[in-house]
Structure 1
Amino acid sequence: MEGKRSTALDREPVESSPSAAEVGLAAVRKGLSRIDIESMSDHERLGLVTELERLKGAASAAQARAVHAVRVAREAGGSSDALRSVGSEVALARCESPTLGDRFVGLSRALLEELPETVARLEAGDVVERHAVEITRETAVLSREDRAEVDRRLGPVMGSLSPRALGRAARRVAAELDAASVVRRMEAAVSSRRVTVRPAPDGMAYLTVLGPLRDIVGAYAALQARARSVVGGQCDDEPGDGRGVGAVTADTALRLMAGLAPGQVQPVEVQLVITDRALLGTGDPDADVMAPARIPGHGAVPSPVARSWVREAGEGSVWLRRLYTSPDGCDLVAMDSRRRRFSGLLRRMLVLRDDVCTTPWCDAPIVQADHTHPVRAGGATSFAGGNGKCARCNGVKEAPGWRVHVVRGSPLTLDTTTPSGHHHSSTSPPLLGWGTDPPHPSPLERRLEALLAAA
């Protein structure tokens, strides 16, 4: 009887020693820190910067070859789950989000199979990864033959173009070779219209609307016209109040999208995590009243700003919910549930504790509360047994070869093992975010320290 063919996914991940290539590259990386920059002239230093930039391109080409080989090997195994997890494994290896990992897998395939000139320029250090991303994206709808023609035409000049200029050139050649495909791509892009939000520095955020060019330009023109009228004192329903055109444009857009009248408070819950000392001046007198607050998924907010938000919210629109922490003030206390799913306060506690997806370097908002140890294997629906995940990472961890287990409960530290046997660790942040100062000792601890010192 013929035995079952064994693949890499049929076996448990195997630990292995670093290869000779890994050891050699590690030596080169460590050697960079030993370069005597101080003894160089400015000419030599900038020459070093140029050569290091070329090294980035060559490194990207080597990464692409390695990733392409992994994908081909997984395809030979014939497992769709395995192929789905390749992007996540690549993301962990490159310390980036799964979305960017998927993009690099696609980039590697396009480069190695259809864009030989671009690969050659990368290996020579004439271009960097951003160039490869641009030409790959702008030729994605072309046939293999047309894509190769764009690559052939732009190969000799791509080293003298910026990434954006190379993207524009590739777009022009693509429109010349196959205008119909470019038109179909533009028509299909309409279905991807969406609104996204991401944090920005200094307590701000970006609200991005992706839509058809003519609609976006028209909406922007209308906002600008309204803002200029307000600033010019031509609108009786809204005073300028010394704001510039940019500020009025942003205020008008946010107000219209929220469906609010001028001056109306936005009826949306924003979870603001802050100590009682920083908010009310009560609690431990030795605690810092300037300890920053945190908005889960978006980052830290200075305590004066958080207090002003609470004051400006208006009476009756602020609710306080007490969060009980561990003695060191960093972690939330445990809370169990008999339910199969994480819901209610338990799910909210997971989001407050983990902040973003617990997969290393993902940083996507938490969408699903996940059992670290699967329920089918006896995992409990508990605060200690749960963690926050984005939809992508929660699905990928169910593929063959993936394992996640709790290394430590406080702070929650998870170890993720990939099908290739690599381990990646992630730790939930302190309750108020990374960079939180360690809590001051309690009065009892200070007295004990004094007694020990006197003894």
Structure 2
Amino acid sequence: MGLSRALVEELPETMARLSAGEVGEWHAVQVARETATLSREDRAVVDARLGPVMGSLSARALGRAARRVAAELDAASVIRRMEAAVASRRVSVRPAPDGMAYLSVLGPLREVVGAYAALTARAKAVVGGQCEDEPADGRAAGPVAADTALRVMAGLAPGQVQPVEVHLVMTDRALLGTGDPDRSVFEPARIPGHGSVPAPVARAWVRDAAEASVWLRRLYTSPGGRDLVAMDSRRRRFTGLLRRMLVLRDDVCTTPWCDAPVVHADHTHPVHAGGATSFGNGGGKCARCNGVKETPGWQVSIVRGSPPTWRTTHPTGHTYRATAPPLLGWGTDPPDPEPDHQQDAPDSPLERHLEALLDAAA
């Protein structure tokens, strides 16, 4: 809506070129975005100046041109915009295909370009055999730069193992070849929040971590192996092993369709309303959903214990359900046969007994 109004009311040249098919929609987005902080009069000047050359520029080049003219006409507004952008600097991570992940750093242009130049120079020196502390080992400049960046950010020396705990969930059959002979040794493992990993890759990770501490913790599932019901031990409150259980069980935020990583261990039935700090009353939430859940009109309740299922009611009255995934991820068990119109099944006696034992041990 904002783009449409800007094109019709403030950027007539851009609108005309777009209507004539001389530029694409992304060209118009670039012009509107780079002039968003200008007054109506200055925006019209940028539009008039760039109109004759829009058709000969790429969308990115047009955005740079609009940014340059905007800085000429109203440098103060551009500086304010840059200062506000600096406050949003952050680091984020997201999954990538084939067992990889993206680590993104959003920061001021000067610092980011400088860091990239330093990484590139270091990578070229390693590949060229000019660094005595780090051999190339057949790596190209790109992998060397990635390895260097990750090592420096983690504060590690060359060759040092990453001292960070990574939760890797897999069956005893897939890890050790023991256990239920009816299960496959190639059943994929799972990293909570990031998806599945082929069993041979997971075994290689464990095997190659020779210099790191590898801890095995038993996870107790329901008889069918579908749900997590207990671990070796746990603490009171949502810290320590109890928090880990929630993260391992829920994988991502339990709000329907959110899929953000678990940040907060939440009491589904709030403590101020008498909710218990227990595995059955816990749920993994992202920071935003945990805050929204407490606003008036929102209600979250547990409707089933196995598999754990939550009902979320919006202020509009719409109701949605979310179910915790199987311990090894979706696709490892048959679909839930219970239709929505059936009554919610109560927790089994085994689950109630296990939860009572865990509460007594806390």
Q: Aligning the two structures, in what range does the TM-score lie when normalised by the shorter sequence?
A: 0.7 to 0.9
CA contact (8 A) 2:238 2:265 kept: yes
SS at match of 2:87: helix
Residue 360 to residue 438, structure 1, CA distance change in 2 (3 Å):
closer
SS at match of 2:284: strand
Aligned to 1:186: 82
Residue identity over aligned pairs, in percent, reads 77
Greater percentage in strand: 2
Q: For residues 312 and 25 of structure 2, what CA distance do their matches in structure 1 show?
A: 28
CA contact (8 A) 1:116 1:151 kept: no
Structure 1 portions without partners, runs of 5+: 1-107, 440-455
Residue 244 to residue 111, structure 1, CA distance change in 2 (3 Å):
closer
Aligned to 1:212: 108
CA contact (8 A) 1:430 1:436 kept: yes
Give the CA deviation at 1:362. 2.0
- TM-score, scaled relative to structure 1: 0.63
SS at match of 2:193: coil
- Structure 2 matches for 1:22-421, cutoff 5 A? 108=1, 110-111=2-3, 116=8, 134=30, 137-143=33-39, 164=60, 167-168=63-64, 170-172=66-68, 174-314=70-210, 317-333=213-229, 341-421=237-317
CA contact (8 A) 1:115 1:151 kept: no
Structure 2 portions without partners, runs of 5+: 336-362
- TM-score, scaled relative to structure 2: 0.78
Q: CA RMSD in A?
A: 3.6
Residue 405 to residue 190, structure 1, CA distance change in 2 (3 Å):
same
SS at match of 1:353: helix
The one-letter amino acid of 1:347's match is R
Q: For residues 158 and 404 of structure 1, what CA distance do their matches in structure 2 show?
A: 52
CA contact (8 A) 1:412 1:428 kept: yes
- Structure 2 matches for 1:5-20, cutoff 5 A? none
CA contact (8 A) 1:111 1:118 kept: no
Q: For residues 80 and 306 of structure 2, what CA distance do their matches in structure 1 show?
A: 52
SS at match of 1:356: coil
Q: For residues 370 and 409 of structure 1, what CA distance do their matches in structure 2 show?
A: 16
CA contact (8 A) 1:115 1:148 kept: no
SS at match of 1:416: strand
CA contact (8 A) 1:331 1:411 kept: yes
Deviation track 1:45-86 (CA, whole Å, cap 9, x = no partner) reads: xxxxxxxxxxxxxxxxxxxxxxxxxxxxxxxxxxxxxxxxxx
CA contact (8 A) 1:296 1:351 kept: yes
Q: For residues 139 and 351 of structure 1, what CA distance do their matches in structure 2 show?
A: 44
Q: For residues 301 and 118 of structure 1, what CA distance do their matches in structure 2 show?
A: 51
